[in-house]
Amino acid sequence: MAAPASAAAAAGLAGMSTDNAKGLVLAVSSSAFIGASFIVKKMGLRRAADSGVRAGEFAAARARVLSGCLDLPPRAGVRFVGGGVIVGEIANFAAYAFAPAILVTPLGALSIIISAALAHAILQEKLHTFGILGCVLCVVGSITIVLHAPQERNIDSVREVWDLATEPGFLCYAAIVVAAALVLIYFVVPQHGQTNIMVYIGVCSLLGSLTVMSVKALGIALKLTFSGVNQLFYPQTWAFALIVATCVSTQINYLNKALDTFNTAVVSPIYYVMFTSLTILASVIMFKDWDRQNPTQIVTELCGFVTILSGTFLLHKTKDMTDSTGPSLPTSRSKSASQNRFSIEIVPLKYRDSVDEETLPLSLPKADNRYLMEDFPVRYKDLNIA
């Protein structure tokens, strides 16, 4: 089975167009720069903590990197973080000019894998077993999508992209997205923005799909311009640039609000799922990526995407988990029906007063769980826990 699989993979890579290969390299490079910048940020935070600088102050300095406010240590770390993110975003921008969004967008999950792997190797942050499984799932899903991604269509002018964007199908999609975003911003955000995580993320994801389509159009215009076919005198190029600026500024504003209001570990996977799903949908409608593929290829790409989503959720859910047991919990001991031994079962706190005579509240030690292997021949009653 290994030989046919490797042969199929080689055939898939051999059949990849030059533009798709360039987009793949740029997308992976983008993830590498962004993932590495997160590790440098953590190293800087540790140095800052050792030198007495609070994490919030360092984060504020990093956020102001584009304006040149580099007045907090460690300066080299801040520069590298800002530079790494900027280079990564530029590479990601260029990737959309060469490869379809179905190929580029899901590969953003690789930055999570690179960050987790570097944290494991450099910062000695051990990955949970399920975290390793999450990394494997992301890699498998990415390979699946790369091998079955559609070929980028040949576009000779930015006016062709404009014609695709003004077709009834995409105009309908864009109108629905803009209307939904406006309803969320003006009616839902004031009432539920601080309590419902889907509100801020919904605005970011909806506008993000339009951002990527405009970024791709602008990237194609710049690619053609650098190849000798000037596209800068077309008004469509500047129209796409205006859409990018408007959507990106709004998107960043509400993404920052989501990160300030809710846990990053929850925001990141939900945003990744919604943003990637809507971006792929927009690309399918606008560039008709699936019109050049058979149903088997489409289903395989969807399976690869779901695999990446599963791996991403596992990584985020287990990134702070270790193999040691958690904090103290009240437990109960009940007689086993099949063995003359006692087993431990969890009893919710609110039911502590209503458990039967067999209940034994135990304070679970954080590091030593040897009591799990011990028998309790004595029946405890009226045990007070301080």
Q: Is 31 exposed, middle or buried (0-12, 13-18, 19+ CB in 10 A)?
A: buried
The model's pLDDT over 159-194, given as tens digits with 9 standing for 90+, comes to 999 999 999 999 999 999 999 999 999 999 999 999
Biggest distance spanned by C-alpha atoms of the chain:
88
DSSP per-residue string spanning 77-129: HHHHHHHHHHHHHHHHHHHHHHS-HHHHGGGGGHHHHHHHHHHHHHS--PPPH
The model's pLDDT over 26-62, given as tens digits with 9 standing for 90+, comes to 999 998 888 888 777 777 767 766 665 554 454 444 4
Cβ neighbours, 10 Å, residue 4: 8
Q: What is the pLDDT of residue 245?
A: 94
Q: What is the pLDDT of residue 295?
A: 92
Single-letter residue type at 189: V
Cβ neighbours, 10 Å, residue 325: 14
Q: How far apart are CA 117 and CA 330, in angstroms?
A: 36
DSSP per-residue string spanning 253-293: HHHHHHHHHS-HHHHHHHHHHHHHHHHHHHHHHHH-GGGGS
Check whether the bond before 168 is cis (ω within 30° of 0): no
Unique residue bearing structure tokens 């458990």: 355
Tokens of 260: 């300030």
Tokens of 153: 């269509």
Tokens of 174: 């864009």
Q: How far is CA 221 from CA 11, 157, 224, 226, 326, in A?
A: 31, 7, 5, 9, 54
Q: How far apart are CA 329 and CA 76, in angstroms?
A: 45
Asked whether 348 and 381 are in contact (CB, 8 A), the reply is: no
DSSP per-residue string spanning 223-264: HHHHTT---TTSHHHHHHHHHHHHHHHHHHHHHHHHHHHS-H
Quick check: helix, strand or coil at residue 46?
helix
C-alpha dihedral sign at 195, 198, 200, 203? negative
Q: How far apart are CA 204 and CA 180, in angstroms?
A: 11
Q: What is the pLDDT of residue 41?
A: 73
Spans of all domains in the chain: 16-125, 151-292
Q: What is the pLDDT of residue 281?
A: 94
Q: What is the pLDDT of residue 83?
A: 63
pLDDT tens, position by position, for the chain (386 residues)?
A: 444 444 444 445 555 788 889 999 999 999 888 888 877 777 776 776 666 555 445 444 444 443 333 333 344 444 545 566 788 888 888 999 999 999 999 998 888 888 888 887 887 777 778 888 988 999 999 999 999 988 888 888 999 999 999 999 999 999 999 999 999 999 999 999 999 999 999 999 999 999 999 999 999 999 999 999 999 999 999 999 999 999 999 999 998 899 888 887 788 888 888 999 999 999 999 998 888 889 999 999 999 999 999 988 888 777 666 555 444 444 444 434 444 444 444 444 443 444 444 444 444 444 444 444 444 444 444 444 44
Q: What is the pLDDT of residue 243?
A: 95
Long-range CB contacts (< 8 A, 24+ apart) of 78-86? 78/44, 80/37, 80/40, 81/37, 81/40, 81/41, 81/44, 83/37, 84/33, 84/34, 84/36, 84/37, 84/40, 85/33, 85/34, 85/37
Asked whether 333 and 342 are in contact (CB, 8 A), the reply is: yes
Unique residue bearing structure tokens 């498998």: 140
Q: What is the pLDDT of residue 43?
A: 76
